[in-house]
Amino acid sequence: MLQGSGVGIAAVVGFPFGASHVDAKAREAALAVADGATEIDMVLDIGRLKDGQREPVRADIASVIVAAAGRPVKVILECARLTDDEKRTGCALAVDVGAAFVKTSTGYLGHGATVHDVTLIRAAVGPDLGVKASGGILYYEDAVAMLEAGATRLGMSHTQQVLDSIPS
């Protein structure tokens, strides 16, 4: 139905915990691309990141980027479950292997985006990588705060509420 409309289709792999086997995530990404996905959102392996296992997390992200066959990959950190140092490490790994975005959360585990997390991510990834603030954006002021903190995209499930809160 969307073919030719210019509307992109994102698919999520490794949802919701990122604990899928690296080969399973890569296969999910390849299947999503074959089915027409134009972007891939992947939940990085939260447990391995928390355990300080940098190389397996790097390989996990890299495998999805390869399987995405040139489509943008957004690496979801799930900030509510990570320390600031773990968030910085996740960002560094995402940048290192060529992710297109780092995203704050799935919206499934804990709070959504915070200004603190968006600011931290923006500082960690630099000015060129995309930052997606996802979840917890309920009002116009929230959206503006996320953009001012460095987000380049917003993920919202309450879009109409945000639009209705725009000051006249």
80 token code pair: 């509510």
Specify the 3-state DSSP secondary structure of 154. strand
Q: How far apart are CA 156 and CA 147, in angstroms?
A: 13
Catalytic residues: 41, 103, 132
At what angle are helices 54-67 and 22-34 packed, to 10 degrees? 20
At what angle are helices 115-125 and 84-97 packed, to 10 degrees? 40
Specify the 3-state DSSP secondary structure of 46. helix
